[in-house]
């Protein structure tokens, strides 16, 4: 989810959301509906017979594995590899035609996956319904895996009647899940949006084992400093309970909003949260007391796009601008360095590019943006929905992203991979991961959802696993699928 305006419930001046047209691949969008709106249209449609979930078996296409292998569209992905056990993997995605979230698990190194539905609470209204959205997955060092998502509640007629946060935990490698729900927001004028999750697995940290979830709370006013912004909750009992949210973003007066919050923990236990601020900036703040309070906001980089942009490959839904960040927890020379990657529209005819920045002083200052994709300049190729994972075994930076460089019309994408072994000072030549292209603009594609708002990646012990939304010709009968691949870097 990323759009925070529902015109039936709230009214926001379009100037807050919409910038002018930018040079390159697209124009900024006037985001007028929450991002789960398209899913609502599917699950509440008259005569819909939702597909039944099931474990299934994976279809492997070369080095690419169909993780979901399920009739009906899935999109928006997250993945995590078990610490100390690169053969055990858990992933998640949105379901579009069904109510729950979908979880995936593998114990053979990602060669095949089983599937399971994540729990949902009972609806809050008679004859109403609810669904999940926005997956995030993270392991702790004790063998527990956590899956964060939001739950949105509806009346029988499809009106929003509330939302809340959910984290489900599993102690059997993702095969069964026990949920915790909290921070219920009543009604539809304010709701929880787009959570991401991380765990402090640094044994020397005073907050070792703490689970953190960061997300944004939104409402129509956007000028109420006590009710909107990027917030964080923590759990110190392995996900059984979560604390009352505290603000990571500044609570100043006047229009303000953050989206795409990503929490990450430094080796000393400092919690960092980065997000895209509505003032055209990728920013970060940190907590040294285990997520109980946060300090000043620091600028990582300014952006040309204020919210999202209609790139050709995702012109219906629009490409959300957001950061993905991590820290170096290795014993190498860059231990403690912080890194963020994000996409932004260029003003030089390069389309959307992926950029990288690092901080060596705990987030106080950040380096000038470095272009990660290595395609030729001036061709308006788009790179977007990047994800970063720093391998704790060696400190390498691993980045995956959608890329349109192989299509002169910029409509079809492939997933590419880039790696840095010098602390983000440079990146190796980009490597194509997918062995077939995806076009989410034609041919029966799920236009309202397309790729969703993000994709994921994990990197552990030299094993890198990107995960993405894929609709190659071989699986079009299943609609959008979740695919992954295993990259071995040594």
pLDDT single digits (tens) 431-447: 999 999 999 999 999 99
Residue identified by tokens 């970063």 is 388
Q: What is the pLDDT of residue 38?
A: 77
> How is the chain split into domains, by residue range?
14-488
CATH class, domain 14-488, is mainly beta
| Residue bearing the bigger pLDDT, 219 or 17 | 219
pLDDT band with cut points at 50, 70 and 90 for residue 188 = confident
- For the record, the structure tokens of 9 come out as 């419930």
pLDDT one-digit tens code per residue, 340-353: 999 999 988 999 99
User: Cα 394 to chain center, whole Å?
Assistant: 24
CA angle 82, 273, 173 (to 5 degrees): 15
CA angle 25, 31, 35 (to 5 degrees): 105
- The residue-averaged pLDDT of 249-263 equals 78
Average pLDDT over residues 369-395: 97
Q: What stretches of 107-159 adopt beta strand conformation (E)?
A: 114-117, 129-139, 145-154
Note whether 259 and 274 are within 8 A (CB): no
Q: What percent of the chain has pLDDT over 90?
A: 78
Rg of the chain over Cα atoms, rounded to whole angstroms, equals 20
Residues 6 or more apart in contact with residue 415 via CB below 8 angstroms: 400, 401, 402, 403, 432, 433, 434, 455, 466, 468, 485
pTM for the whole structure: 0.90
For the record, the structure tokens of 449 come out as 């959802």
């Amino acid at each position: 989810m990323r759009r925070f305006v529902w015109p039936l419930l709230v009214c926001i001046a379009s100037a807050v959301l919409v910038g002018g047209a930018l040079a390159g691949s697209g124009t900024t969008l006037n985001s007028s509906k929450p991002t789960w709106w398209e899913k609502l249209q599917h699950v509440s449609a008259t005569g819909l017979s939702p597909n039944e979930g099931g474990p299934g078996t994976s279809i492997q296409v070369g080095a690419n594995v169909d993780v979901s292998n399920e009739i009906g569209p899935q999109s928006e992905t997250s993945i995590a590899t078990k610490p100390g056990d690169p053969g055990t993997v858990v992933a998640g995605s949105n379901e579009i035609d069904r109510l729950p979230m979908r979880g995936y698990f593998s114990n053979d190194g990602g060669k095949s996956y089983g599937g399971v539905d994540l729990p949902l609470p009972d609806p809050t209204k008679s004859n109403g319904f609810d669904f999940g959205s926005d997956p995030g997955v993270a392991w702790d060092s004790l063998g527990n895996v956590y899956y964060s998502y939001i739950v949105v509640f509806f009346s029988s007629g499809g009106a929003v009647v509330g939302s809340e946060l959910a984290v489900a935990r599993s102690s059997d490698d993702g095969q069964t899940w026990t949920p915790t729900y909290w921070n219920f927001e009543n009604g539809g004028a304010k709701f929880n949006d787009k959570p991401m999750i991380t765990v402090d697995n640094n044994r020397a940290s005073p907050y070792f084992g703490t689970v953190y979830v960061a997300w944004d709370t939104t409402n129509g006013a956007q000028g109420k400093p006590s009710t909107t912004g990027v917030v964080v909750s923590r759990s110190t009992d392995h996900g059984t309970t979560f604390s009352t949210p505290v603000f990571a973003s500044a609570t100043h007066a006047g229009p303000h909003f953050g989206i795409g919050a990503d929490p990450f923990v430094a080796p000393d236990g400092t919690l960092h949260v980065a997000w895209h601020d509505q003032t055209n900036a990728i920013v970060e703040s940190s907590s040294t007391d285990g997520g109980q309070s946060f300090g000043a906001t620091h600028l990582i980089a300014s952006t040309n796009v204020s919210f999202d942009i209609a790139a050709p490959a995702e012109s219906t839904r629009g490409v959300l601008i957001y950061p993905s960040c991590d820290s170096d927890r290795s014993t190498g020379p860059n231990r403690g360095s912080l890194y963020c990657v994000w996409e932004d529209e260029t003003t030089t005819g390069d389309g959307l590019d992926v950029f990288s920045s690092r901080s060596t002083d705990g987030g106080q200052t950040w380096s000038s943006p470095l272009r990660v994709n290595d395609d030729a300049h001036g061709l308006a190729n788009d790179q977007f929905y990047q994800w970063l994972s720093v391998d704790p075994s060696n400190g390498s930076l691993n980045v995956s992203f959608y890329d349109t460089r192989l299509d002169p019309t910029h409509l079809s994408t492939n997933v590419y991979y880039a790696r840095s072994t010098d602390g983000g000072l440079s990146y190796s030549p980009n490597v194509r991961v997918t062995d077939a292209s995806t076009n989410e603009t034609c041919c029966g594609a799920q236009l309202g959802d397309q790729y969703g708002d993000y994709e994921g990646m994990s990197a552990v012990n030299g094993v890198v696993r990107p995960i993405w939304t894929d609709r190659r010709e071989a699986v079009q009968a299943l609609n959008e699928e979740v695919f992954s691949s295993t990259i071995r870097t040594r």
